[in-house]
């Protein structure tokens, strides 16, 4: 991914993609339902106050089995849908006191940040949490799978603004040494052979498409769904068929879950 591919304003990108257009009670995909259930299953007993950072329209926040749960997000569009108390804020400067929440959740957020901001974001989550931080991110995401190349300015960008591929190693050393880290995984997917994926996208131009696609670099909104052209359809199907031969099974975990327990929690 080109470093120039990401937008300066992550919240602005969110507000222009489909991510927050959905009402919180719209039907969720099977994979998302599973991820949220697996996330909630990692919440230890004894949590009375929780904060969901990057809550969006409240998909997780509304389902948190916690009496007093609050949300915060930088984007305004998502917050409008939330039926629990919210505050608009950046993850880099949370308007909550040290240790004021038993649990701080931050799900499908950190992959959107400038990687240079990750330590500060982690420090904020840890600061506000009295006992636990619960994080989910895409696991070892193959960023090219959700990327497109702008035909106007040639920039390759991730459709949902993801800026890094994250693993367990991303989080080791990110929290104080006394914190206890517990990792979990959710939902199996089929991996894509990296060389085949590069061939399909960079080589043959069959990029991932969404009707909400716009270029975060030049603002272009004219994109073509590769499946609507003969060449794109053939590239997509041929590479997919080869990939199925190499990877017949869905063996890759799609999401990484992490619970960070503070000492004595
Ligand atoms: Zn462009």
193-239 pLDDT per residue, tens? 999 999 999 999 999 998 888 899 999 999 999 999 999 999 999 99
- Residues 162 and 12: their CA atoms lie apart, in Å, by 14
Asked if the model's pLDDT at residue 18 lies above 80, the reply is no
Å from CA of 212 to ligand 1 middle: 14
The answer, as to whether pTM is greater than 0.85, is yes
pLDDT of residue 7: 42
Å from CA of 149 to ligand 1 middle: 8
Å from CA of 220 to ligand 1 middle: 5
Å from CA of 214 to ligand 1 middle: 8
**Which percentage of the chain shows pLDDT scores above 70?**
91
Å from CA of 254 to ligand 1 middle: 29
- Residues 114 and 4: their CA atoms lie apart, in Å, by 11
Q: What is the mean pLDDT of residues 172-181?
A: 97
Å from CA of 127 to ligand 1 middle: 38
Domain ranges of the chain: 3-148+158-190+250-261
Among 8-17, 23-32, 120-129, the range with the most confident prediction by mean pLDDT is: 120-129
pLDDT of residue 76: 87
Residue 193, φ and ψ in degrees, nearest 5? -60, 120
Asked if the model's pLDDT at residue 15 lies above 80, the reply is no
Å from CA of 144 to ligand 1 middle: 16
Those residues with Cβ within 8 angstroms of residue 12's Cβ, 6 or more apart along the chain or in another chain: none
Å from CA of 112 to ligand 1 middle: 19
**Domain 3-148+158-190+250-261 annotated CATH 3.40.50.150:** yes
Asked if the model's pLDDT at residue 66 lies above 50, the reply is yes
pLDDT of residue 2: 39
Å from CA of 147 to ligand 1 middle: 13
Å from CA of 119 to ligand 1 middle: 30
Contact 109, 91 (CB under 8 A): yes
CA 223 to chain centre: 23
| pLDDT band, residue 36 (cuts 50/70/90) | very high
Torsion angle of C-alpha atoms 131, 79, 7, 110, degrees rounded to 10: 20
- Residues 184 and 39: their CA atoms lie apart, in Å, by 9
pLDDT of residue 124: 98
pLDDT 10s digits, 199-208? 999 999 999 9
Residue 23, φ and ψ in degrees, nearest 5? -65, 150
Asked if the model's pLDDT at residue 110 lies above 90, the reply is yes
Contact 259, 184 (CB under 8 A): yes
Å from CA of 211 to ligand 1 middle: 16
Indicate the burial class of 178 (C-beta count within 10 angstroms; 0-12, 13-18, 19 or more). Answer: exposed
Å from CA of 138 to ligand 1 middle: 25
pLDDT of residue 4: 36
**Residue keyed to tokens 């190499």:** 246
pLDDT 10s digits, 68-107? 999 999 988 889 899 999 999 999 999 999 999 999 999 9
Q: What is the mean pLDDT of residues 107-136?
A: 97
Å from CA of 158 to ligand 1 middle: 12
Protein residues within 5 Å, CB atom, of ion ligand 1: 150, 152-153, 215, 217-218, 220
- Residues 235 and 181: their CA atoms lie apart, in Å, by 42
Copy the structure tokens of residue 70: 């609050």
Which one has a higher pLDDT value, 91 or 264? 91
Å from CA of 222 to ligand 1 middle: 10
pLDDT of residue 26: 72
Å from CA of 45 to ligand 1 middle: 48
pLDDT of residue 214: 87
Average pLDDT, the chain: 92
Asked if the model's pLDDT at residue 8 lies above 70, the reply is no
pLDDT 10s digits, 145-175? 999 999 999 999 999 899 999 999 999 999 9
Asked if the model's pLDDT at residue 115 lies above 70, the reply is yes
Å from CA of 64 to ligand 1 middle: 39
CA 1 to chain centre: 16
Copy the structure tokens of residue 16: 């222009």
């Amino acid at each position: 991914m080109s470093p120039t591919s990401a937008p300066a304003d992550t919240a602005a990108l969110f507000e222009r993609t489909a991510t927050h257009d959905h009402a919180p009670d719209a039907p969720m995909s099977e994979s998302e339902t599973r991820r949220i259930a697996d996330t909630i299953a990692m919440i230890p007993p004894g949590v009375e106050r929780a904060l969901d950072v990057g809550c969006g329209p409240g998909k997780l926040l509304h389902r948190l089995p916690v009496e007093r749960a609050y949300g915060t997000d930088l984007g305004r569009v998502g917050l409008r849908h939330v039926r629990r108390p919210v505050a608009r804020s950046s993850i880099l400067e949370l308007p909550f006191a040290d240790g004021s929440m038993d649990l701080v959740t931050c799900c499908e957020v950190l992959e959107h940040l400038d990687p240079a901001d990750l330590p500060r974001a982690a420090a904020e989550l840890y600061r506000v949490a009295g006992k636990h931080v619960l994080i989910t991110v895409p696991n070892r995401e193959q960023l090219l799978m959700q990327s497109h190349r702008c035909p106007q300015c040639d920039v390759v960008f991730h459709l949902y603004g993801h800026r890094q591929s994250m693993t367990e190693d991303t989080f080791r050393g990110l929290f104080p040494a006394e914190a206890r880290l517990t990792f979990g995984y959710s939902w199996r997917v089929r991996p894509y052979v990296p060389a085949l994926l590069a061939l399909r996208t960079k080589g043959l131009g069959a990029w991932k498409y969404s009707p909400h696609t716009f270029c975060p670099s030049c603002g272009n909104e004219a994109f073509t769904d590769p499946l609507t052209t003969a060449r794109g359809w053939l590239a997509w199907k041929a590479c997919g068929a080869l990939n199925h031969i190499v990877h017949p099974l869905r063996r890759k975990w799609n999401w990484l879950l992490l619970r960070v327990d503070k000492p004595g929690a």
